[in-house]
Structure 1
Amino acid sequence: MSDDHDAAGAMSFIFEAGVLKRAARTGWWFAGVKQPETIAEHSFRTALIGMMLAAMEGADPGRVSMLCVLHDTQETRITDIPHIAKRYLTAAPNAAVTADQVADCPPAVAEVITAAVAEYETGETLEAVVARDADKLECLVQAVEYRHQGIDNVQRWIDSSRAALKTASARRLAGAALSGQPLAWLSPSRQSE
């Protein structure tokens, strides 16, 4: 294969991932959120949380962040299927979707992405456990923010996300999110002079 073909294949995946900036997280519509965050917005904060949790848990922050960035990239093709819809629908496994997405990428790129997705999906490494916790914790944090914005019907997301957390650090951060104020950082008393 030519270098131009490899570059075009890589760019195809980059363009496809850009769709995540426009695709909404659909489960929040059930809670009454009219304009929920996008999948890309969710993935960004998941990666940030993952990096922090990795530092707290002794995992590799870079690896965890990569797993978090890639954990929902398949949703360009299968969409963000709400939890209740999964009772009735069967989607292709994320690893299979990813393989199709990166089929035309340079082999080294395809290998890195497919290995990361497989690691996340298997959930056996410390990094994968931390990345999965970051995903659940981001959902909990988003629910807390929506609740502070007046969306009352978010408790089920808080409860299910909190129950799924595996690491002690994620459970501590969840407690802090539940007792915290999302905009407390704006307080003049918290800013240095």
Structure 2
Amino acid sequence: MSEDQDAAGAMSFIFEAGVLKRAARTGWWFAGVKHPESIAEHSFRTALIGMMLAAMEGADPARVSMLCVLHDTQETRITDIPHIAKRYLTAAPNTAVTADQVAGCPPAVADVINAAVAEYEDGETLEAIVARDADKLECLVQAVEYRHQGVADVQRWIDSSRAALKTASAHRLANAALTEQTLSWLAPPNA
């Protein structure tokens, strides 16, 4: 492949990932959220939470953040399939979708992305465990925020997300999310 073809392949993936800024997290519609967060918004905060959890758990924060950024990129092609729909639908494995997405990228880029998605999907390394906790914790935090905005039917998201957490740090953050006020950060320091 020429350098121009490599660049075009990489840019194709970048443009495709941009779709995630416009694609809604559809499961929230069942809770009554009319305009739910986008997949990209979810992935951004998941990466931030992942970086923090990694520091708390002794994992590699940069690696965890990368896993978090990439964990839902496949949804440009298979969409955000709500949990209930997964009872009836079978999607291609995320690793296969990712391989197709990055097939035109420079080999070094494709290798990095494919390896990260495979690690996340395998869920065996400390970084993958922390990244998965970040994903669940972000869902819990989003549910708490939606509840604060008046969406009443979010408890099932809180309960299922909390039950899926593996690390002690994620459990501590979940407890804080459930007891703190969503706008407590507006208070002046030491107030």
The alignment's TM-score, normalised by the length of structure 2, stands at 0.99
Distance in 1 separating the partners of 2:63 and 2:32: 35
1:76 match: 76
The alpha-carbon deviation at position 191 of structure 1 amounts to: 7.1
Match of 1:162 in 2: 162
Alignment of 1:31-110 (within 5 A): 31-110=31-110
Note the C-alpha offset of 1:84: 0.1
Kindly tell me: are residues 191 and 87 of structure 1, through their superposed partners in 2, closer, same or farther at Cα, counting changes over 3 Å?
same
* Cα distance in structure 2, aligned partners of 1:129 and 1:77: 25
Q: Distance in 2 between matches of 1:110 and 1:133?
A: 25
Q: Unmatched 5+ residue regions in structure 1?
A: none
Q: Distance in 2 between matches of 1:79 and 1:159?
A: 24
What amino acid sits opposite 1:186 in the alignment?
A: L
Give 2:189's aligned residue. 190
Question: What are the equivalent positions in structure 2 for 1:138-153 lying under 5 Å apart?
Answer: 138-153=138-153
Give the superposition deviation at 1:190.
3.0
CA distance in 1, matches of 2:14, 2:99: 14
Report sequence identity in percent: 87
Q: How many residues align?
A: 191
Aligned-partner SS, 2:48:
helix
- CA distance in structure 2 between the aligned counterparts of 1:151 and 1:18, rounded to whole angstroms: 28
The residue type equivalent to 1:190 in the other structure is: P
**Structure 1 runs of 4+ off > 2 angstroms?**
189-192
Structure 2 letter corresponding to 1:71: H
Coordinate RMSD, CA, aligned: 0.9
Whichever residue aligns with residue 70 of structure 1, its letter is L
Q: TM-score, normalising length from structure 1?
A: 0.98
What corresponds to 1:30 in structure 2? Answer: 30
